[in-house]
Structure 1
Amino acid sequence: MEFRFENLLGAPYRGGNAVITKNTQLISPVGNRVSVTDLSKNHSVTLPLETSTNICRLASSPDGTFLLAVDEQNRCLFINLPRRVVLHRITFKDKVGALKFSPNGKFIAVGIGKLVEIWRSPGFRRAVLPFERVRTFANSDDKVVSLEWSLDSDYLLVGSRDLAARAFTIARDGYIFSWGYTEKDVKMDESEDGHSEPPSPVTPDRADEVMVENGGGVGTELKKRKEYDGKGLESDEEGDDDDEEYMHRGKWVLLRKDGCNQASAKVTACDYHQGLDMVVVGFSNGVFGLYQMPDFICIHLLSISRQKLTTAVFNERGNWLTFGCAKLGQLLVWDWRTETYILKQQGHYFDVNCVTYSPDSQLLATGADDNKVKVWNVMSGTCFITFTEHTNAVTALHFMADNHSLLSASLDGTVRAWDFKRYKNYKTYTTPTPRQFVSLTADPSGDVVCAGTLDSFEIFVWSKKTGQIKDILSGHEAPVHGLMFSPLTQLLASSSWDYTVRLWDVFASKGTVETFRHNHDVLTVAFRPDGKQLASSTLDGQINFWDTIEGVLMYTIEGRRDIAGGRVMTDRRSAANSSSGKCFTTLCYSADGGYILAAGTSRYICMYDIADQVLLRRFQISHNLSLDGVLDFLHSKKMTEAGPIDLIDDDNSDEEGGIDKQSRGNLGYDLPGSRPNRGRPIIRTKSLSIAPTGRSFAAATTEGVLIFSIDDTFIFDPTDLDIDVTPEAVEAAIEEDEVSRALALSMRLNEDSLIKKCIFAVAPADIKAVAISVRQKYLERLMEALVDLLENCPHLEFILHWCQEICKAHGSSIQRNYRTLLPALRSLQKAITRAHQDLADMCSSNEYTLRYLCSVPNNH
């Protein structure tokens, strides 16, 4: 039961500023979480920590060890990145507009409203008050939006919305100087009501070199100060070059103005690279420009998005540019020298409706209201295929047994089959008259494809190969929202809002074989992996378990109280008295059929033991207060005569809008009585899927696709413990060269590190004899250890030799007990397949390299 949060897919970027550390490590905010992407390995992971609300600002220490994350409620987390833990917390008194570590890592500059506060960086030391405020500067007349340190960490340059930049010294108290725009420099912009307003404020980065002004309808202007000679600005007086106080001894004058010629587009992001003397500027029309300073020569001017760019940043070397578009959820890394993409990720624009694992648990497919089907690599956390042929919301997905094809159903009236090898839609299943499909399945052999409709209440059956309709199953009197084939038989189960679950024999054309009647609308249905049990969820919050052989009700779980919790802003009743949403809309059996996962319009995912009908655990999918339905009690002071204050639009707000995760309104297939919240997104889980290996499960939530997995290294679960079974006994057996006995003792102790140590203690020539001596009840645990070693150990041939001898010695036993060993066998297959793919890619790369080297003429 030790499932823990592992990763977040489907949402690579949600707004805020991105940060690059160690030249190839990209850190971006994703809602109230932080995502870390290794650009060299193309691997993405989400840190297992959360803030109270959505993160708006990030800052990283120069060595990449520490990370500051500030949310919308001004709460800051001080994070140790390598360990992925929160070291300290602090709450600032006002909105944080800028955040920056000093180059030496000793100080942190924070722009809080009109103030600039200098804090001493806490580091690893333990203290009651780890944050120490060193100095506060209050010279700005408007909100601080940009900060930049000098290389020696003695001076700080501050840009604010009053169209001025100011320089401060940290070593001594004092405000050195400032400069800004005069009225004759700023062209006034006529607003809608006829009043003259100044253009958007200064958003400089490295303002001691370049100031970038958002010129509104005029365009973008860059202002350059006096030349930078390596130590500082040139001084007007001769002989002052060796003066350390160059920042205030020199005279700052305007050299030149340059325009970016982007018509009415505004500057929304900017970054300056000192080593290359380049400026990258992102505009509100999705275009970015790369300029060489000081001559302001345009090197690249490209359109990479349809919406405004909300972040643009150089890496340390300056060869990669990172761009983020919060509205579309895009995160791009572009190499401007080779003009190629290093990373190109985009999440679903609307809510994810369905999620499913591939048979080998290596891939994950998602379908959403944005008409797209995306396929993700579970190990790397990146999307590598996006299919866009659907013209309406994707409502259901199903992986075929061959692991290379996927089925998707949509409200556009089609069921499409996708091929991963050819990256194309190779088959489309349609009906004589258009229908809206909301459920989908295929039989285990892959001969037929079935889909349930929303409007005609029918189930269409196609031949997978020919695409022709073989049968139309009629009998339901409401939308068919649940559809699933029995894993081992030819029975098809369907659930509908007409209070029934029906079993069909599709191949014998006998129509309805069995009908299970309920007292309320049936929302979904799921088969146990052995096909002998069927689970159905109803609108009154119950989960019913049926015996498919005898046709009788076995168990009933009352889940209304378990899933209850959370109050929407527009609710007039308390969470305890509200009955809306207290039901499960998605069910999923575990790999061994012992427990079941259930979720719905709630912040919880419930795990039940089926035999005892008890709640084992509840997983809270998010603590993000920016979502609706997280709190049980609302603050009465936030209720006004016009409604909740958080739902009232503020015309004067200048915040950058993040990605809108609310669904596209009522598409016609929501639950009866459900109403979409027109304010903040409502927290919910629309789909669940457990990996065939049983090691992880995925949940399609409002925040994205959450991945939970089991970590056995922290679990002590001995199988056959005795007074003589100790780690010391295992060590003694290894020293005495009794490896079979040592392995048996470590299996009984069930300590992961000891089991692996015993595996490596066996000589390659003795593997066969030791494999034969392993008892049958320890086979599953030994396979799990071998799977872990295959994924993380460099001794590939040695581990594969172990796998081969285990299969040879216990082949008949594995066949007799394959149901029990099925999750472990699938995990082993997944690990071996991945190792094979990695070796194949490496061999292909080496082959091409050798061919190239052989083709190069020898000049010696």
Structure 2
Amino acid sequence: MKTEFKFSNLLGTVYGRGNLVFTPDGNSLLSPVGNRVSVFNLTKNTSYTLPFAHRRNISHLDLTADGKLLLTVDEDGRAILSIFTRRIAIYHFSFKTPVSALAFSPSGKHFIVGLGRKIQAWKTPSIPGGDANGELEFAPFILHREYAGHFDDVRHLSWSGDSRFFLSSSKDLTSRIWSLDPEEGFDPTVLSGHRQQVRNAWFSASQEAIYTVSEDGALFRWEFVPKQQDDQDETEEPIDERWRIVQRNYFMQNAKLKCATFHPQTGLLTVCFDNGLFSLYEVPSFSNIHSLSLASSPISAVSTNKTGEWLALGSSKTGHLLVWEHASESNILKQSSHLDTMTTLSYSPDSTRIITGADDGLIKIWDVSSGFHIATFTEHTSAVTASTYSKRGNILFTSSLDGSVRAWDMLRYRNFRTFTAPTRLSFSCLAIDPSAEIVCAASHDSFDVHLWSVQTGALLDRLSGHEGPISTLAFTPDGRYLVSGSWDRTIRVWSVFDRSQTSEALQLTSDLLCVAVRPDSAQIAASTLDGSISFWNLNTSIQESGLDGRRDVSGGRTLTSRRTAASTPGTKSFNSITYSSDGSCLLAAGSSKYICLYATSTLTLIKKFTVSINLSLDGTQEFLNSSAIMSNGLPRDMIDTEGEASDLEERIDRSLPGVKRGKDATARTLRHEVRVTGVEFSPAGRSFCACSTEGLLIYSLDNSGNEDFDPFDLDIDVTPQNIRAILKQAEPVHLKALVMAFRLNDRQLIRQVYQAVPYGSIPLVVRELPRVYLGRLLMLLGQQMENGPHLEFTLLWVSEVLSIHGRYIKEKQGDFAGELRAVLRGVDGIGRTVRNLSERNAFEIEYLCQQKPMTNGTHKSIGNRSSEDVAEFEAMDEDGEEGDWIGVE
């Protein structure tokens, strides 16, 4: 089995904190998710996650005007400059202090950052416009100028349209106008008049007016106007020219303004409040266009695309992300994260869907190819503890602490059966037999296993024998046995379909946490609280081997820990284990930042995957930083340095009365501890998924085509210029150009050569193509079927490749597994699109054929008229003597 799994995508979380940014074409949205950036393509309904990650949560990000450079900054002020189109990080930089605002100039030559009370302007790497390749001419950051004058932190920065001036908004209740370079006759100007901190400030499209909004819901319009003296003649030159308030408006909301955005070209202003309400206004008339509510939680970020048609809104408290089109009043994108920690996951049998359940009681269905969640089940009223698919994939079973086990129809997305026990129990685990006729569940409250019939919903039996809470259940793939594990340090193997229903107990040395059955039903693996994994022969009930994973799973220390990461208690066990599809590997994870992959034959650790390097989470640090410990012995990170608790409602003590010792039940911390609550291999074995504190992490063997620039077998003649010169020849050698493009391994160049191959030359090019490039050609075809517009052209390539090289590909199918899966995904996507289109056309044709002919007055429909009648009517209609008539449209 191949083990070169690489991070592929991040699902389960759509927005964390920070600002939202649209790409210049307006088709994609960049959303910060923890220490990573997710990109949502709004036109193709797909999403992906950029491969690089910060050491802290991302607080600010911005794109250049051409969309090529992306700058992301984390909470500590460390920045990563990346080429967005290639998804490559090219430079790391530290501002040495937290960044409070960030904005690229419209020209893309400079960007400004707010560093506390001061502002810095930096030069960005230059991009030569004459180069057809768009190659970067990179240079390190160069500080252009530094500006000071505010008396409190800068909260927002915005540029003028000509990139000569910019505005800053601060918590000192003022806004200021700055010039990028010294301008003759211009001095930095202070705009004061608000009674609370200024949230945003923008220039109008003509740059003759400035709009500022404050936290108390006040909108001021400023213009550069002179002040006339009362005793001064109108013909005399005016004196005291400066920016003055010419219009005051108030939103009149009983809530604080959290964020706002302004589109100068259309004059649309969007304001968002902490009660979840957002409103659209047209300025300067201040007419309200829309007022809608996203949720009851505050809206953290808002952004608008270049044309002003789409609005993106994000809420960090609930994890909602919404893209709204105000013209049609419709949702372009509506995604939401789980409100609490994810507890369980399940792959669908065809590996296209992932089911997640969480402590918030929600069940979400995620599409693996697009990265979007497509449905949410809300019937459970408490935390979801386990989920599993039926073998056919049409039924999903879930258990919850609300005392119910539910069966879901995955074709109609509805709950069609609910199973409950005679007494109120909180079910913690479940299992179904391969035929999906029997469902079993167990609880920590009772030591019995409950069995129900899926067909009737009746309780069939209660299996007694354990002397402690049952922690895990699993049916063997052949359906013969039910395996249950308990905290009483035993594993019991039940023959539930025999009349005797006997069970055999396997004794362990510690409390059992999880059990996994090998796909051939010959072996079971058991993870215990002491960090060991034991392997048992299911036929002989004898322990075959075991391994100690305490050292492998240990890692990461909490803020309050006084021990090293290796000796920290509570993290030395695996809470979730699973076999690979061929049974050769075992995947194990627990309350640590590591996922371990073991070989079952040699019991050796093959690979360790790091879930997160995000220091904003608890349990990711390996060493104690003594400089972060204060004199009282508490870590400095536990102190809230945001300084936002200035309002009365944020200063109210809501702790329980009488709490003098122990932990207050109402206490809440913002730092989550990194841990993995579930891992599972995909049925195809090409990927695995882990639900963690960061989200739903997917690791895959398949090459998604998003890899870094990786040329091979190069010589001095393999250059983009030579490849383009070959294509411009009178009789171009397309095979040579395609081979050179594959050797250079530039995606844009490969696509250009591929599209330049004539329709009739495809069989010849495919026949003469060296076999070493077959994998790259298949991956290219898979990408073109998913993203390219040339359907027939791509299908002809696929047909020729399979007909000419099909026998060789079949012999080496293990080497082409990822490429063939990419082609299969493309073919399935095309088939699904064509099928939906044909069904829609069939319904429309059937509807039109069933419509009765309509008449207007004395005229008959066109279906009942002859050609002479129609010609006579058209002649009368031209003379204006008769009215129009209605026919079948």
Same fold, TM-score > 0.5, yes or no:
yes
- The reply on whether 1:47 has 2:50 as its aligned counterpart is yes
Go from structure 1 to structure 2 and tell me whether the alpha carbon gap of 1:834 and 1:428 turns closer, same or farther (over 3 Å shift).
Answer: farther
What is the alpha-carbon distance in structure 1 between the residues aligned to residue 465 and residue 161 of structure 2? 76
Checking the alignment, whether the CA contact within 8 Å between 2:365 and 2:373 is kept in structure 1 is yes
Single out whichever of 491-500 and 388-397 deviates more from structure 2.
491-500
What is the alpha-carbon distance in structure 2 between the residues aligned to residue 105 and residue 785 of structure 1? 33
Match for 1:702: what amino acid? T
- The reply on whether 1:324 has 2:326 as its aligned counterpart is no
What is the alpha-carbon distance in structure 1 between the residues aligned to residue 450 and residue 829 of structure 2? 37
Task: Indicate the residue corresponding to 1:254 in structure 2.
Answer: 245
Match for 2:838: what amino acid? C
What is the alpha-carbon distance in structure 2 between the residues aligned to residue 834 and residue 340 of structure 1? 26
- How far is 1:201 from its partner? 3.9
Match for 2:679: what amino acid? L
Match for 2:253: what amino acid? Q
Checking the alignment, whether the CA contact within 8 Å between 1:357 and 1:363 is kept in structure 2 is yes
Task: Indicate the residue corresponding to 1:728 in structure 2.
Answer: none
Single out whichever of 94-103 and 414-423 deviates more from structure 2.
414-423
- The reply on whether 1:647 has 2:638 as its aligned counterpart is yes
What is the alpha-carbon distance in structure 2 between the residues aligned to residue 820 and residue 494 of structure 1? 39
Checking the alignment, whether the CA contact within 8 Å between 1:443 and 1:449 is kept in structure 2 is yes
SS in 2 for 1:841: helix
What is the alpha-carbon distance in structure 1 between the residues aligned to residue 199 and residue 704 of structure 2? 52
Checking the alignment, whether the CA contact within 8 Å between 2:179 and 2:188 is kept in structure 1 is no
SS in 2 for 1:88: strand
Task: Indicate the residue corresponding to 1:480 in structure 2.
Answer: 470
Match for 2:158: what amino acid? E
- The reply on whether 1:63 has 2:66 as its aligned counterpart is yes
Go from structure 1 to structure 2 and tell me whether the alpha carbon gap of 1:60 and 1:825 turns closer, same or farther (over 3 Å shift).
Answer: closer
Task: Indicate the residue corresponding to 2:169 in structure 1.
Answer: 159
- How far is 1:91 from its partner? 0.7
Map 1:133-172 to 2 at 5 A: 133-172=143-182
Go from structure 1 to structure 2 and tell me whether the alpha carbon gap of 1:462 and 1:335 turns closer, same or farther (over 3 Å shift).
Answer: same
- How far is 1:830 from its partner? 6.9
SS in 2 for 1:475: coil
Task: Indicate the residue corresponding to 2:747 in structure 1.
Answer: none
Task: Indicate the residue corresponding to 2:222 in structure 1.
Answer: 225
Go from structure 1 to structure 2 and tell me whether the alpha carbon gap of 1:102 and 1:548 turns closer, same or farther (over 3 Å shift).
Answer: same
What is the alpha-carbon distance in structure 1 between the residues aligned to residue 785 and residue 547 of structure 2? 40
Within the candidate set 95, 101, 111, 2:98 is matched to 95
- How far is 1:41 from its partner? 1.3
Checking the alignment, whether the CA contact within 8 Å between 2:126 and 2:138 is kept in structure 1 is no
SS in 2 for 1:312: strand
Structure 2: runs of 5 or more not aligned? 128-134, 229-238, 648-666, 707-749, 768-774, 852-861, 863-885
- The reply on whether 1:11 has 2:7 as its aligned counterpart is no
Checking the alignment, whether the CA contact within 8 Å between 1:483 and 1:493 is kept in structure 2 is yes
Deviations 1:579-622 (A, max 9, x none): 32201110111111111100001110000111011110000011
Checking the alignment, whether the CA contact within 8 Å between 1:693 and 1:824 is kept in structure 2 is no
Checking the alignment, whether the CA contact within 8 Å between 1:350 and 1:369 is kept in structure 2 is yes
Task: Indicate the residue corresponding to 2:110 in structure 1.
Answer: 107
What is the alpha-carbon distance in structure 1 between the residues aligned to residue 448 and residue 90 of structure 2? 57
Go from structure 1 to structure 2 and tell me whether the alpha carbon gap of 1:680 and 1:144 turns closer, same or farther (over 3 Å shift).
Answer: same
Task: Indicate the residue corresponding to 2:831 in structure 1.
Answer: 836
State which structure, 1 or 2, has the greater radius of gyration over its C-alpha atoms.
Answer: 2
Checking the alignment, whether the CA contact within 8 Å between 2:349 and 2:393 is kept in structure 1 is yes
Checking the alignment, whether the CA contact within 8 Å between 2:705 and 2:779 is kept in structure 1 is no
Go from structure 1 to structure 2 and tell me whether the alpha carbon gap of 1:536 and 1:764 turns closer, same or farther (over 3 Å shift).
Answer: farther
- How far is 1:517 from its partner? 1.2
SS in 1 for 2:677: strand
Within the candidate set 122, 128, 142, 2:125 is matched to 122
Go from structure 1 to structure 2 and tell me whether the alpha carbon gap of 1:254 and 1:417 turns closer, same or farther (over 3 Å shift).
Answer: same
What is the alpha-carbon distance in structure 2 between the residues aligned to residue 765 and residue 646 of structure 1? 62
Go from structure 1 to structure 2 and tell me whether the alpha carbon gap of 1:581 and 1:202 turns closer, same or farther (over 3 Å shift).
Answer: closer
Task: Indicate the residue corresponding to 1:181 in structure 2.
Answer: 192
What is the alpha-carbon distance in structure 2 between the residues aligned to residue 803 and residue 362 of structure 1? 26
SS in 2 for 1:49: coil
- How far is 1:788 from its partner? 8.3
Match for 1:625: what amino acid? L
Go from structure 1 to structure 2 and tell me whether the alpha carbon gap of 1:167 and 1:805 turns closer, same or farther (over 3 Å shift).
Answer: closer
- How far is 1:557 from its partner? 1.6
SS in 2 for 1:356: strand
Normalised by the length of structure 1, the TM-score is 0.80
Normalised by the length of structure 2, the TM-score is 0.78
Go from structure 1 to structure 2 and tell me whether the alpha carbon gap of 1:421 and 1:644 turns closer, same or farther (over 3 Å shift).
Answer: same
Task: Indicate the residue corresponding to 2:29 in structure 1.
Answer: 26
Q: Higher relative contact order by CA 8 Å / sep ≥ 6: 1 or 2? A: 1
What is the alpha-carbon distance in structure 2 between the residues aligned to residue 575 and residue 426 of structure 1? 47
Go from structure 1 to structure 2 and tell me whether the alpha carbon gap of 1:853 and 1:173 turns closer, same or farther (over 3 Å shift).
Answer: farther
- How far is 1:179 from its partner? 3.3
Task: Indicate the residue corresponding to 1:292 in structure 2.
Answer: 282
- How far is 1:578 from its partner? 2.7
What is the alpha-carbon distance in structure 1 between the residues aligned to residue 524 and residue 783 of structure 2? 33
What is the alpha-carbon distance in structure 2 between the residues aligned to residue 234 and residue 574 of structure 1? 65
What is the alpha-carbon distance in structure 1 between the residues aligned to residue 543 and residue 455 of structure 2? 37
Task: Indicate the residue corresponding to 1:352 in structure 2.
Answer: 342
Go from structure 1 to structure 2 and tell me whether the alpha carbon gap of 1:35 and 1:828 turns closer, same or farther (over 3 Å shift).
Answer: closer
Checking the alignment, whether the CA contact within 8 Å between 1:164 and 1:178 is kept in structure 2 is no
- How far is 1:475 from its partner? 0.9
Match for 1:146: what amino acid? H
Map 1:235-384 to 2 at 5 A: 251-263=242-254, 265-384=255-374
Within the candidate set 515, 519, 535, 2:525 is matched to 535
Checking the alignment, whether the CA contact within 8 Å between 1:362 and 1:830 is kept in structure 2 is no
- How far is 1:799 from its partner? 8.4
Q: Percent identity?
A: 37
Match for 1:18: what amino acid? L
Deviations 1:345-404 (A, max 9, x none): 110111100011000000000000001000000100011111111111000001122323
- How far is 1:62 from its partner? 0.7
What is the alpha-carbon distance in structure 1 between the residues aligned to residue 84 and residue 589 of structure 2? 32
Deviations 1:471-499 (A, max 9, x none): 11111122222111111232111111111
Single out whichever of 780-789 and 70-79 deviates more from structure 2.
780-789
Task: Indicate the residue corresponding to 2:142 in structure 1.
Answer: 132
Task: Indicate the residue corresponding to 1:668 in structure 2.
Answer: none
Single out whichever of 161-170 and 842-851 deviates more from structure 2.
842-851
SS in 2 for 1:428: strand
- How far is 1:78 from its partner? 0.6
Task: Indicate the residue corresponding to 1:670 in structure 2.
Answer: none
- How far is 1:423 from its partner? 2.4
What is the alpha-carbon distance in structure 1 between the residues aligned to residue 668 and residue 289 of structure 2? 46
Single out whichever of 502-511 and 604-613 deviates more from structure 2.
502-511
Structure 1: runs of 5 or more not aligned? 187-198, 227-232, 238-247, 657-675, 716-752, 771-779
- How far is 1:764 from its partner? 14
Task: Indicate the residue corresponding to 1:84 in structure 2.
Answer: 87
Checking the alignment, whether the CA contact within 8 Å between 1:693 and 1:826 is kept in structure 2 is no
Match for 2:73: what amino acid? V
Go from structure 1 to structure 2 and tell me whether the alpha carbon gap of 1:591 and 1:651 turns closer, same or farther (over 3 Å shift).
Answer: closer
- The reply on whether 1:626 has 2:629 as its aligned counterpart is no
Deviations 1:394-416 (A, max 9, x none): 00001122323211100000011
What is the alpha-carbon distance in structure 2 between the residues aligned to residue 577 and residue 386 of structure 1? 41
Match for 1:841: what amino acid? N
Go from structure 1 to structure 2 and tell me whether the alpha carbon gap of 1:788 and 1:507 turns closer, same or farther (over 3 Å shift).
Answer: farther
What is the alpha-carbon distance in structure 1 between the residues aligned to residue 556 and residue 600 of structure 2? 26
Match for 1:68: what amino acid? L
Checking the alignment, whether the CA contact within 8 Å between 2:177 and 2:190 is kept in structure 1 is no
Go from structure 1 to structure 2 and tell me whether the alpha carbon gap of 1:123 and 1:655 turns closer, same or farther (over 3 Å shift).
Answer: farther
- How far is 1:173 from its partner? 6.2
Within the candidate set 495, 503, 506, 2:496 is matched to 506
What is the alpha-carbon distance in structure 1 between the residues aligned to residue 816 and residue 141 of structure 2? 53
Match for 1:64: what amino acid? G
Match for 1:19: what amino acid? V
Deviations 1:727-768 (A, max 9, x none): xxxxxxxxxxxxxxxxxxxxxxxxxx9xxx9xx99x9999xx
What is the alpha-carbon distance in structure 1 between the residues aligned to residue 822 and residue 103 of structure 2? 44
Checking the alignment, whether the CA contact within 8 Å between 1:442 and 1:450 is kept in structure 2 is yes
What is the alpha-carbon distance in structure 1 between the residues aligned to residue 822 and residue 437 of structure 2? 26
What is the alpha-carbon distance in structure 1 between the residues aligned to residue 290 and residue 671 of structure 2? 38
